[in-house]
Amino acid sequence: MDIKIATWNINSVRLRINLVERLIAEESPDVLCLQEIKCINDAFPLKALKAAGYEHIAVHGQKGYHGVATLSRIPFKKVDSMNFCEKGDCRHLATDLDMPGGMRVHNFYVPAGGDEPDPEINPKFAHKLAFVREMTRLYDGHRTKSQNRMVLVGDLNIAPLEHDVWSHKQLLKVVSHTPVEVALMNELIASHDWVDVMRRFVPDNEKLYSWWSYRAKDWLAADRGRRLDHIWVTPALADTPVSMTVRKDARGWERASDHAPVVATLRL
DNA sequence: ATGGTCGACTTTCGA
Say which residues have a Cβ less than 8 Å from residue A33's Cβ, sequence separation at least 6: A5, A6, A7, A8, A68, A69, A70, A71, A93, A105, A107, A153, A154
Using the CB atom, is residue A113 less than 7 Å from strand B? yes
Superfamily of domain A2-267: Endonuclease/exonuclease/phosphatase (3.60.10.10)
Q: Over its length of 268 residues, how does chain A's per-residue pLDDT go in tens digits? A: 999 999 999 999 999 999 999 999 999 999 999 999 999 999 999 999 999 999 999 999 999 999 999 999 999 999 999 999 888 899 999 999 999 999 999 999 999 999 999 999 999 999 999 999 999 987 765 666 667 899 999 999 999 999 999 999 999 999 999 999 999 999 999 998 999 999 999 999 999 999 999 999 999 999 999 999 999 999 999 999 999 999 999 999 999 999 999 999 999 9
Q: How far, in Å, CA of A226 to CA of A165, rounded?
A: 4
Contact between A208 and A164 under an 8 Å Cβ cutoff? The reply is yes
**Structural domain boundaries in chain A:** 2-267
What is the predicted pLDDT for the residue at A68? 98
Which residues of A are catalytic, by number? 109, 155, 259
Q: How far, in Å, CA of A136 to CA of A115, rounded?
A: 23
C-beta within 7 A of nucleic chain B, residues 226-265 of A: 255
DSSP count for chain A of H helices, then E strands? 6, 14
What is the predicted pLDDT for the residue at A260? 98
Using the CB atom, is residue A65 less than 7 Å from strand B? yes
Phi (first) and psi of residue A211, to 5 degrees: -140, 140
Residue A259 is labelled as binding a ligand? yes
Beta strands A225-226 and A150-155 are unpaired
Residue A96 is labelled as binding a ligand? no
Using the CB atom, is residue A215 less than 7 Å from strand B? yes
For residue A195, what is the enclosing H or E element? Answer: strand A195-196
What is the predicted pLDDT for the residue at A137? 83
What is the predicted pLDDT for the residue at A32? 98
What is the predicted pLDDT for the residue at A226? 98
Helices A179-192, A123-136: axis angle to 10 degrees equals 20
- For A246 and B6, how far is CA from C1' in angstroms? 22
What is the predicted pLDDT for the residue at A268? 95
